[in-house]
Amino acid sequence: MLTIKNDHKWSACPLCLSKDIEYLGKIDYRKPVMFSTHLIELQEVSSICQCGSCKSWFTQNILHENDALELYKNGESNTKWLRQTGFVEEKPRNIVHRLKQYFIEGKRVLDVGCNIGSLLDFAGSKGCYTFGVEPSITSQAILCDKGHRSFSSIDEVRGQFDVITAFDLVEHLHDLLGSIIKFKQLLVEGGVLILLTGDVDSLSARLTKNDWWYLKAPEHIVFPSRQFFRELDDFELLSIDGTYASVGYMKSIFWVLAQYFRKKILLGNYQGLPALGPDHMLVVLRKI
């Protein structure tokens, strides 16, 4: 098994650069942990902090960016998603409805971190031209078979897009601000950026803090707040919908408590409390 050095620490908030940082607690998962599809052992215990200024959260003691990129690149991430049904069946209704507003025939859609292209299949079914960014080599072959144009990194992308989507991506990025600048350059005037990520302002996050299942240390490292998106330069915030990562997380409180008991006490492989309600957000931003 790989032992990975995870001693990267932020000296300021990675999202607004404020030095006003509050410690929320250790992320005390059992070891080893999965990173992409690799089972790895970590040298340090990770912890979670909140920025006093923009209210975003971020993880301390994370992998160095190059080590993380290498693991994602060589991961068999396509195997993680092959069991999935289609995008429309997999995602909550409010996400599908919101996307239909923007997936209009003839629009150029770029999905960053597109994996095997489920979202692009949906965009294609609405008559959009589909492009994806995906570092995993095995996933790229599947995208090609489906007829989606793919790039292995955002730096390779050429052209302009009406819609850029990034689902379950921003929480993995060491340089989220740099990525937002690239997204802006690739959007046409008035183009929209649509992000799906965890919501630190949700009840689930606020109640469980360093026990929130979504922290997923050490893969998830930044958790932008709603305030961060409201204050973002060069973009107008059009909407934020509270939602779930997928329909699989929409469970009753009884199911949540049963899972907690089963994982924490019977199995001993506790990885944080399950979702106590909508704990993701779909953010739509327009380039101005």
Nearer to Zn ion, 142 or 200 (CB): 200
Nearer to Zn ion, 13 or 42 (CB): 13
Q: Give min distance, CB of 273 to Zn ion, in A.
A: 25
Q: Give min distance, CB of 182 to Zn ion, in A.
A: 20
| CA 59/CA 44 separation, integer angstroms | 12
What are the b/e assignments for 238-275, b being 16+ CB within 10 Å?
eebbbbbbbeebeeeeeebeeebeebeeeeeebbbbbb
Nearer to Zn ion, 102 or 228 (CB): 228
Q: Give min distance, CB of 14 to Zn ion, in A.
A: 8
- CA-CA distances (angstroms) from residue 95 to 90, 107, 165, 197, 276? 10, 18, 12, 12, 19
- Bridge partners (DSSP) listed for residue 60: 47
What string of H, E and C letters represents the secondary structure of 45-95? CCEEEEECCCCCEEEECECCHHHHHHHHHHCCHHHHHCCCCCHHHHCCHHH
Q: Give min distance, CB of 18 to Zn ion, in A.
A: 5
Nearer to Zn ion, 51 or 109 (CB): 51
Which has the closest alpha carbon to 134: 112, 119, 118? Answer: 112
What are the b/e assignments for 159-194, b being 16+ CB within 10 Å?
eebbbbbbbbbbbbbbebeebbeebbebbeeebbbb
Nearer to Zn ion, 59 or 165 (CB): 59
232 binds Zn ion (CB under 5 A): no
54 binds Zn ion (CB under 5 A): yes
Binding mask 4-33 for Zn ion (x = CB under 5 A): ---------x-xx-x---------------
Q: Give min distance, CB of 225 to Zn ion, in A.
A: 8
| CA 191/CA 205 separation, integer angstroms | 31
Q: Give min distance, CB of 230 to Zn ion, in A.
A: 13
Nearer to Zn ion, 13 or 142 (CB): 13
**Crossing angle of the two packed helices 118-125 and 93-102, in degrees rounded to 10:** 50
Footprint (CB under 5 A) of Zn ion, residues 34-53: 51, 53
Nearer to Zn ion, 103 or 223 (CB): 223
Which has the closest alpha carbon to 280: 136, 123, 169, 122? Answer: 169
Q: Give min distance, CB of 227 to Zn ion, in A.
A: 9
Q: Which residues contribute to the site for Zn ion (CB under 5 A)?
A: 13, 15-16, 18, 51, 53-54
